[in-house]
Structure 1
Amino acid sequence: MTISHLEDHLGYWLRLVSNAVSHSFARQVEALGVTVAEWVFLRTLYNYDHRSPSLLAGQMGMTRGAITKLADRLIAKSLVTRTADPEDGRAQTLALTPEGRAKVPVLAKLADANDAAFFDALSAQERAALEQSLKSLITRRHLSGIPTN
């Protein structure tokens, strides 16, 4: 019986690139005091004045418990606030603090630069083809959720 090599699998190559891109970005955002998961949380919340934890959990493809843990860490860093929902006093909403709102564009520039550093080696046509292939797999495999690690 012949056993395939690691390099025979497309997933191997995809993971190799993904790890390099992700680890580079993680080092950059961690130097600014947040994790990649926290960055994703901040960027998702940036689009709203306030958001319920359950809606954020749905958008991010995470459990409410995971969202609560992320929110707790970001509250401790003074980047997010938790308040009673004005429409339902029993519920809570999350919002960016002014410091959190100011941090998102800084982190977004790091994400843009990291993306460029890895994918500028591709021609515009190669990049478009790669993006289309990945989006096609996502659609066909019904993948969802925002990658946070």
Structure 2
Amino acid sequence: MASDLEFHLGYWLRFVSNHVSHAFSLKLQARDVTVAEWVVLRDLFDGDGVAPSLLADRLGMTRGAISKLADRLIAKELIERTAAMEDRRQQTLSLTAAGRKLVPALSALADRNDAEFFGHLKPAERAALEKMLRDIVRRHDLKTIPTE
């Protein structure tokens, strides 16, 4: 005998996660930004002038993935790459003025998406759900930030 899909908590987590992520992705697409690009933009918002290798480490991405994302965001004129004067091989990534202006608008989309899916929860329910999810992350030492 095999257990039903609905028997597994992982099924329900994935079910909800896919719908939350898809709805957010559609909101971002309307602003010509992907979820992975949003994650990079949001990280740079708090600390401009970040080395791509440090950004990769913080976000749990490969350096190649960061390089590709940076190229796309540079083409969109949302970030810029600057080489250090003393060693041109050392580079930093930072938001452009357009990128700095866009991040709060995208953050508002994330807030709205959260409210659409979780706004019906009472504050104590939301806090309990977050506590349980953070506990799972901690217990399994999960590090990679979801970007898909």
Q: Which residue of 1 aligns with 2:137?
A: 138
**What TM-score, normalized by structure 1, do the two folds share?**
0.96
Tell me the secondary structure at the aligned position of residue 112 of structure 1.
Answer: helix
Residues 1:66 and 2:48 aligned together: no
Q: Distance in 2 between matches of 1:113 and 1:86?
A: 42
Q: Distance in 2 between matches of 1:17 and 1:8?
A: 15
Amino acid at match of 1:43: R
Q: Alpha carbon RMSD of aligned pairs, Å? A: 0.9
Q: Alignment identity in percent?
A: 59
- CA distance 1:100–1:127, shift in 2 (3 Å): same
Q: Which residue of 2 aligns with 1:39?
A: 38
Q: Distance in 2 between matches of 1:33 and 1:63?
A: 23
Shift of 1:9: 0.6
Q: Could you list the runs of 5+ residues in structure 2 that have no partner in the other structure? A: none
Tell me the secondary structure at the aligned position of residue 81 of structure 1.
Answer: strand
Residues 1:119 and 2:118 aligned together: yes
**What TM-score, normalized by structure 2, do the two folds share?**
0.97
Shift of 1:89: 2.4
Q: Which residue of 2 aligns with 1:92?
A: 91
Shift of 1:121: 1.5
Amino acid at match of 1:89: R
Q: Distance in 2 between matches of 1:30 and 1:86?
A: 36
- CA distance 1:94–1:132, shift in 2 (3 Å): same
Q: Distance in 1 between matches of 2:87 and 2:141?
A: 34
State the 4+ residue runs in structure 1 displaced beyond 2 angstroms. Answer: 85-89
Q: Distance in 1 between matches of 2:137 and 2:19?
A: 21
Shift of 1:86: 4.1
Count of aligned pairs: 148
Q: Distance in 1 between matches of 2:115 and 2:143?
A: 24
Shift of 1:94: 0.7
